[in-house]
A = this chain, B = another copy of it.
Amino acid sequence: MNQQSNRKKDILTAALSCFTDMGIAATSIDDIRLKSGASIGSIYHHFSNKEGLATALFREGLEGYRQGLIDVLSEAQSGEVLVKGAVDFHVEWALAHPDKVRFMLYAKREMSVLADDAVVREETGDFLSRVKALFTPFIIKGEIRQFPKELYIPLLSGPSQELIRIWLSHPKVIDLKGMKPYLAEAAWNALRPSS
């Protein structure tokens, strides 16, 4: 039970590493076999195929990010702390897991168009509901401005997300950590009441 889990995790780790280095299309199952030490049969036992492997990685990353964000948001006592805390977490997560971010950002939809969207959609729906529940009280209290609901995520994380994207391409040039205060301030300015 332990050996098995490790083997599965080894495959995921090797795959993420290969995907990061060479891109999904360019990494062969054999590359993953060599790097993970698993056999072809073992890889196909644990994952349906290359796409299934990519999907598993994607979901694993998403799950970690979402759980962390919910934890941070749950503790906020004011609208400002909520918003700035979310931005801070977002950037810190990227700094801590650059490979996962790169993979999730660039490799996602590539693999197939719908995949198992049933499950992914449900998880996404749950996540959005939970985030909404954490924002709502502050909107009602007037600490956060009211917007059409689809705008909250773009206003909150859009600039951070865009800077992270640039940072992934030019890690040496961009001081992502140093930009955190600006990003937090910008998000708060966009979401605070009036102006």
Contact = CB atoms under 8 A, between A and B. Distances in A.
Chain copies in the assembled complex:
2
28 contacts: A21-B113, A22-B112, A23-B110, A23-B111, A24-B110, A25-B112, A26-B111, A26-B112, A106-B108, A106-B110, A107-B109, A110-B110, A148-B179, A148-B182, A150-B163, A150-B173, A151-B163, A151-B179, A151-B183, A154-B163, A154-B166, A155-B159, A158-B158, A158-B159, A158-B160, A159-B159, A186-B190, A189-B189
A106 B112 CA distance: 11
Interface in A140-177: 147-148, 150-151, 153-155, 157-163, 166, 173-175
A23 B154 contact: no
Most central of A25, A148, A162, A190 by chain B CB within 10 Å = A162
A157 B163 CA distance: 10
B112 A23 contact: yes
Given A107-B110, A110-B107, A160 B166 contact: no
A192 to B, nearest CB: 10
A67 interface: no
Interface of A: 21-26, 50-51, 102, 106-113, 147-148, 150-151, 153-155, 157-163, 166, 173-175, 178-179, 182-183, 186, 189-190, 195
A155 B112 contact: no
Contacts of A182: 147-148, 151
